[in-house]
Structure formats: structure tokens, C-alpha cells
């Protein structure tokens, strides 16, 4: 398997020595290989600390193959720059070359042997093509060492979060671990080196989408130091395109970089904004050591920009669940958000009206945690605009059922609505007359209210009616005179209230069968057409 060595005087002398002692041939008549030479003790130095013999080099796979498939000579190795010098001026061993990431592929572009891959931590599959188990990785030294210098046990791996499971129950790959932030520091607590990052697949692709070789990394100075002698920052790595591609070959987003802890600065070299940091979970703890809530971030202006670079509106924050907790640690209600002005903009960028908020269910709970009634919404001015953007009249609110409950939780009667001045305008925007209120509102309560209150102020009420009907048509005036209220007899009767009440109860029975026949239309048990 090894080519016959004719490239040095020393080797030639050894061959001659072998020929002289054993006729120079092995069983099949070929020249002895290095292995065979070692077996007969003709190769000089072994385990005694001296330079490795060719046999030892060959046995551990350190002498690969050159272009024609033969074993590389030291001269060839030196010519291609694989044998350099270490700190003390000695020739670098292959192990030292592997440690600095210079051994990726051999001269003819073939993949390194499994042993070499294992030595530099690049190994994923064993001889039969299956994924290496943690035991196999540990056996070839891929699972490093713990504090006492021993190989990490599975328990120790689990304790540092390296042995987990992904969605399908399989062991997480190092890349997956890195994506969820489990690979941050090495055993001694220091930040992972670029080599260690590369070993777990974090430095993956070069410009043409192929995996970066260690030689390429070294050539562009990524496994060394930058111009000023300082360690390269992740931004510098990103700027030269070395942190570029994710699993599907697309360019890594800054978010993805940040997720694996690679990102320090954004594209323009400026420090990441707090929003960007917050989005990737880099802002975690407040003064008391607890995780910062999104509300706290918002309160101190840490949530700044949305996708288009504009400042995030509170509505957008709320929509994506970034505003979560109030002072007592409970989830903020939409009402609380609205009260502090956190719900600001609708789809078209305009400020949300309270009506729009109510329509989409954003105003939900009052102080006691119960759903806000429409009355409560109206009382605090939260129901403001109708479809055309104009302020909703109380009548319009009543017509669409938005004014529903009073203090005791019962449905508001029209009388109660009238008492609090909630029925003000008719369809044409004019102030409703009491007659109009009687004609198409709940006349039961209105009549009772009128008997108790308006009749005591007859002169003022009638005067107001006369003024209001001056501009109306003759038909309306005739109708009003015909149904003049209160009637003259009412004012002359001593027990007028009881008599009218009894008469009204009798007429209610008739009204149930003959609704169209009625003396006083505003006493109707159901609304009459105006």
C-alpha cells in the first residue's frame, strides 16, 4: 500500500541493508514496505520521545497520499506547507497542525481519514456510516474533559445541558444546541473559541455555499487575530461573509446570528438596539434579577422598532403579545392597555377609536375584572365614533344596543336613558321632542316619568313644545293639537293620577290585541312608528 521509497539516501541505505540481510525482498518478492521494515527493527526511533518513525506515522494515518495515491514524503509535505514551525522553532507535528485547524483535506482533495477527523473533532459518522454515539465520541476524545481531567460522563454532559432531545425525540445535534443557546461556554467557563464553534458546526459556509475548510478560515485570519492583534469580533466575521448561511443555504439573518450568540453589532456597525436585543431574548433581567417583562421594556423605551424600521406602536406590541404584565404581575387587560395609551393604531396607521377597540373586543374588563358594559364604556367616553368617523350620538348607541346596563347590572330602560340625558338626538340630528321620545321609545316608563315629573312643570313643558313645533308642518301641528298632552281633564281631576293609571291598565289589555287603536300613543307598551 505504501510506495517504494527511492527519494532519499537514508532510505536507500536502509533498503540496501535489508537486501543485504534478507535478500531485500519479502514473501511476494516485492521491496519491503515501511511496516515490514519496522517489523525487522530497521526504522530508528519509536516511543522513546524521539521523532516518530515512518512506521508509527503510517500506523496512525499521519502520512496520507499525494496526487498519484502514494504516501507523501516529508519533502512533499514541506513543499505544500504542511510542515511548519511551532513556537520553539521545531517542525509542527500533525497533532499540532490539527489543533490549529490546518488539516482539513489532503492534497488530492479526498476526505480525511476517520482517525484524523476524530483527532481534530470533525467526526460525525463511524466506519459503517452511522452517527457516532456519545460513547464513541468520548472514546476518540470528542467529548473533552471535565475539571479533574477525566472524560466527561453522560451525567456531566446532561448537567451542562448537552444531552437533550429535539421534537422527534432524537439527540440534539451540536448545531441545534447552539441555536437554543446551550453551547455558550467551554468547560473552563471561557467563551468558546472559533475553533470550538467550528467544531459544532457554527461556522459553516463560505461564499460559494460550501463548507469552509480550516485552511480557508486560517487564510482569511478567522482562526487568528485581526489587524490590531485583538480577537476578531463576530461583526467582523459577518462583514467578511464567514457567518453567512443557515441550514437551507440562505444568508443567516441577524436574528439567527443573535440566537446562537454570534451577533454583537448590526449592519451599520452600531450597537444593537434594545428592541433587536429584546427580540432575540438578550435582555433578560431587571434590577431585582427577575426576567424583564415586555411591559417593563416598553416603559423604559427598550422596544423601539418594527420590521420597517419605524417605532413600534403599542398596538403592534400588544398584537404580538409583547405587552403582557401590569404592576401586580398579571396579564394586562386591553382596558388597562387603552387607559395608559398603549393601544394606538389600527390597520391604516390611524389612532384606533374607542369604538373600534370595542368592536374588536379590545376593551374587555373593568376594575373588578368583569367585562365592561356598554354603559360603562359610554360613561368613560370610550364609545366615540361611528362608521363614518363622526361622534356617535347616544340615540345611535341606544339603537345598536350599545347602552345596555345600569349600575345594578339590569338593562337600562328608556326612562333611565332619558333621565341621564342619553337620548338626545333623532335621525336628522335635531333634539328629540318628548312627543318623539314617546312615539318610538318605551312609553311605559316614559309615561310614568312624565306623570311624576313633567306634569308638575306643565307650563314650561307646554311652552317648550309650542316653540319646537312652530317650524314643523301643519300635519305635525295638527297631530300634536289632537293629541295634546297633558289633557285638560287631567289637570282638573283630583285623583287624576290613579284614574289615568287604571284606565291605562284597561287599555293595555286592549292594546295587546288592537295595537293600532290607542288614545295616548306614548303610553303604548311597544314602540310606535314615528
DSSP string spanning 194-217? Answer: HHHHHHTTSS-B-TTSSBPPHHHH
Q: Is the distance from CB of 294 to CB of 303 less than 8 angstroms? A: yes
Please tell me the pTM assigned to this model.
0.17
Do 236 and 230 touch, CB atoms closer than 8 A?
no
- Asked, as a colleague might, if the bond just before 486 is cis with ω within 30 of 0, I would say yes
- Round to whole Å and give the CA distance between 471 and 432: 14
pLDDT score, position 503: 72
For 116, the 3-state DSSP assignment is helix
Q: What is the pLDDT of residue 324?
A: 47
- 3-state SS assignment for residue 384: coil
- pLDDT per residue, tens digit, the chain (530 aa), is 344 443 454 455 445 544 544 444 555 556 555 445 544 544 443 434 445 544 445 444 444 444 444 555 544 554 444 444 443 445 555 544 444 444 444 433 444 454 445 444 444 444 444 555 554 555 444 444 443 445 555 445 544 444 444 334 445 554 444 444 444 444 334 445 555 555 444 444 333 334 555 445 544 444 444 334 344 555 455 444 444 443 343 455 555 555 445 444 444 445 555 555 554 444 444 334 445 555 555 555 544 444 344 455 555 555 555 444 443 445 555 555 555 554 444 434 455 565 555 555 555 544 454 555 655 655 555 555 544 545 556 555 555 555 554 445 455 555 555 555 544 444 344 444 555 554 444 445 445 545 545 444 454 545 555 555 455 555 555 555 555 555 544 445 455 556 666 776 777 666 665 554 444 444 444 444 44
Q: How far apart are the C-alpha atoms of 157 and 134, rounded to whole Å?
A: 10
HSE (side-chain half, CA atoms, 13 Å) at 336: 16
* Polymer length in residues for the chain: 530
pLDDT at 325: 43
Alpha-carbon span 93 to 83, nearest angstrom? 7
Phi, psi at 130, each rounded to 5°:
-85, 155
C-alpha 271 chain-centroid distance: 20
pLDDT, residue 425, reads 43
Separation of alpha carbons 405 and 363, rounded Å: 16
211 in helix, strand or coil?
Answer: strand
Amino acid at each position: 500500500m505504501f510506495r517504494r521509497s527511492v527519494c532519499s539516501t537514508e532510505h536507500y541505505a536502509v533498503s540496501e541493508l535489508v537486501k543485504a540481510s534478507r535478500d531485500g525482498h519479502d514473501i511476494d518478492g516485492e521491496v519491503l514496505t515501511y511496516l515490514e521494515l519496522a517489523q525487522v527493527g530497521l526504522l530508528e526511533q519509536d516511543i522513546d520521545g524521539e521523532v516518530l518513525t515512518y512506521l508509527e506515522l503510517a500506523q496512525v494515518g499521519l502520512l496520507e497520499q499525494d496526487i498519484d495515491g502514494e504516501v507523501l514524503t516529508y519533502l512533499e509535505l514541506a513543499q505544500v506547507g504542511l510542515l511548519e514551525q511551532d513556537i520553539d522553532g521545531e517542525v509542527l507535528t500533525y497533532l499540532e497542525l490539527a489543533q490549529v485547524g490546518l488539516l482539513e483535506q489532503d492534497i488530492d482533495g479526498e476526505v480525511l481519514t476517520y482517525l484524523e477527523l476524530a483527532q481534530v473533532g470533525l467526526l460525525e459518522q463511524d466506519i459503517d456510516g452511522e452517527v457516532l454515539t456519545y460513547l464513541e465520541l468520548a472514546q476518540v476524545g470528542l467529548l473533552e474533559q471535565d475539571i479533574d481531567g477525566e472524560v466527561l460522563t453522560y451525567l456531566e454532559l446532561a448537567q451542562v445541558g448537552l444531552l437533550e432531545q429535539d421534537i422527534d425525540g432524537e439527540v440534539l445535534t451540536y448545531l441545534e444546541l447552539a441555536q437554543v443557546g446551550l453551547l455558550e461556554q467551554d468547560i473552563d467557563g471561557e467563551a468558546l473559541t472559533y475553533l470550538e464553534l467550528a467544531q459544532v458546526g457554527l461556522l459553516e459556509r463560505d461564499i460559494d455555499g460550501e463548507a469552509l475548510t480550516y485552511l480557508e478560515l486560517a487564510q482569511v485570519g478567522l482562526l487568528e487575530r485581526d489587524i490590531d492583534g485583538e480577537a476578531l469580533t463576530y461583526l467582523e466575521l459577518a462583514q467578511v461573509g464567514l457567518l453567512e448561511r443557515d441550514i437551507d443555504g440562505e444568508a443567516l439573518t441577524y436574528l439567527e446570528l443573535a440566537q446562537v450568540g454570534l451577533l454583537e453589532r448590526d449592519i451599520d456597525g452600531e450597537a444593537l438596539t434594545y428592541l433587536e436585543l429584546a427580540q432575540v431574548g438578550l435582555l433578560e433581567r431587571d434590577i431585582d434579577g427577575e426576567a424583564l417583562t415586555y411591559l417593563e421594556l416598553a416603559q423604559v423605551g427598550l422596544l423601539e422598532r418594527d420590521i420597517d424600521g419605524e417605532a413600534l406602536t403599542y398596538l403592534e406590541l400588544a398584537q404580538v403579545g409583547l405587552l403582557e404584565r401590569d404592576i401586580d404581575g398579571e396579564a394586562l387587560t386591553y382596558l388597562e392597555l387603552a387607559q395608559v395609551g398603549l393601544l394606538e393604531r389600527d390597520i391604516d396607521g390611524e389612532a384606533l377609536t374607542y369604538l373600534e377597540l370595542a368592536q374588536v373586543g379590545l376593551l374587555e374588563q373593568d376594575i373588578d375584572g368583569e367585562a365592561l358594559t356598554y354603559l360603562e364604556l359610554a360613561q368613560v367616553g370610550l364609545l366615540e365614533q361611528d362608521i363614518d368617523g363622526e361622534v356617535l350620538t347616544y340615540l345611535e348607541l341606544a339603537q345598536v344596543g350599545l347602552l345596555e346596563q345600569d349600575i345594578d347590572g339590569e338593562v337600562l330602560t328608556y326612562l333611565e336613558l332619558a333621565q341621564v340625558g342619553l337620548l338626545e338626538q333623532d335621525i336628522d340630528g335635531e333634539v328629540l321632542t318628548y312627543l318623539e321620545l314617546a312615539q318610538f321609545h318605551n312609553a311605559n316608563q316614559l309615561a310614568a316619568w312624565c306623570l311624576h315629573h313633567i306634569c308638575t312643570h306643565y307650563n314650561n313643558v307646554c311652552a317648550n313644545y309650542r316653540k319646537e313645533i312652530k317650524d314643523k308642518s301643519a300635519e305635525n301641528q295638527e297631530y300634536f293639537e289632537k293629541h295634546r298632552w297633558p289633557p285638560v281633564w287631567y289637570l282638573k281631576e283630583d285623583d287624576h293620577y290613579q284614574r289615568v293609571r287604571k284606565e291605562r291598565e284597561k287599555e293595555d289589555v286592549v292594546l295587546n290585541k288592537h295595537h293600532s287603536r290607542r288614545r295616548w300613543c306614548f303610553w303604548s307598551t311597544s314602540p310606535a312608528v314615528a
